[in-house]
Amino acid sequence: MNKIIFSFLALVILLHLEAHSVYAQDPCSDISLDTIRAHAPVPPKAEIISRKNTGGICEVILSINGEPVPLYVSKDFIIAGEMYSNKVQITRESLESVSAVISELKQEMAKKLAEDFLAIRDNLDTVAGITYTPEGKKNHTLYMISSPSCPYCNKAAKEIQPILDETGTQLKIIFQADGPARDKAAEAICQKIDLQTYNSNAWQSKSSEKACDEGVEIVHKSSTLAQQLGVRGVPTFFLEDGSQVVGANMLELKKLLSAN
């Protein structure tokens, strides 16, 4: 009788332990980038910088191009967005906890980007579509990745000359364009126009007749080089040391160019 009772108790304890084990299983134990990619597109260079059990769901913070992206992941779904509990913004607390890691990753990415830029800088010089050199001493060279079809690029090109003159900075416009914009960029190269003429828009024809083969080839090469630098949008600027400014941020450019 005692053996039966003992066996029954042992069975109850075993079942309890198994149930507790299932309940306590870490929801992040089987979550990886492959799990996430099964549900949503994730860039190749993304990496997981944080993964933890949050309310029974695996909270994952990805680093995508140096920016933190929070997700809540299971084998069956992904939820993108903020999590709140008892009026506390759980996601924001998690992001703050990895801020140091994000900062370090951004520094590493900036260093790697500068190295990549310096490795192909000579090639960029050979495919510059337009070059502007101010009078007097040249202190800097600024590379502007641009497209004739980009309104922000055209606005920046018109606003930047006073900054170039004030800081003694040479500007080299590198075209990244395809489709009709590629033909327009090629046309600008083939006509060998200067910055002032480019900004006037008077040089543009209504067809692609002036887009010579040499210009098309240069735009193809320059677009390829821009892709190697990971440029995803224009305008993007590079200083001669590889420092990057994304977007038509004239204040930031002036600050950097005036620093030395």
CA distance 63 to 67: 5
Q: Residue 93's CB: how many other CB atoms inside 10 A? A: 11
Residues 6+ apart with CB under 8 A from 198: 130, 157, 173, 188
pLDDT in the model for residue 25: 82
Q: Across all residues in the chain, what is the average pLDDT?
A: 89
pLDDT in the model for residue 24: 55
The helix (H) or strand (E) run that includes residue 257 is helix 250-258
Highest mean pLDDT (candidates 35-44, 87-96, 219-228): 219-228
Place of tokens 């996430």: 36
Residue 215 has pLDDT above 70, yes or no: yes
Range 116-132 average pLDDT: 98
Residue 17 has pLDDT above 60, yes or no: no
pTM higher than 0.85 for the full model? no
pLDDT in the model for residue 208: 62
Q: How confident is the model at residue 207 (pLDDT cuts 50, 70, 90)?
A: low
CA distance 154 to 147: 8
SS3 175: strand
Residue 229 has pLDDT above 90, yes or no: yes
pLDDT in tens, 19-77: 444 445 899 999 999 999 999 999 888 999 999 999 899 999 999 888 899 999 999 99
pLDDT in the model for residue 6: 39
Range 1-7 average pLDDT: 45
Domain ranges of the chain: 26-87, 113-258
Range 147-171 average pLDDT: 96
Residue 142 has pLDDT above 50, yes or no: yes
Residue 13 has pLDDT above 60, yes or no: no
pLDDT in the model for residue 65: 81
Range 123-148 average pLDDT: 96
Read off the amino acid at residue 124. L
Read off the amino acid at residue 83. M
Range 105-110 average pLDDT: 91
Give the fold, CATH level 3, of 113-258.
Glutaredoxin (3.40.30)
SS3 53: strand
Percent of the chain with pLDDT over 90: 74
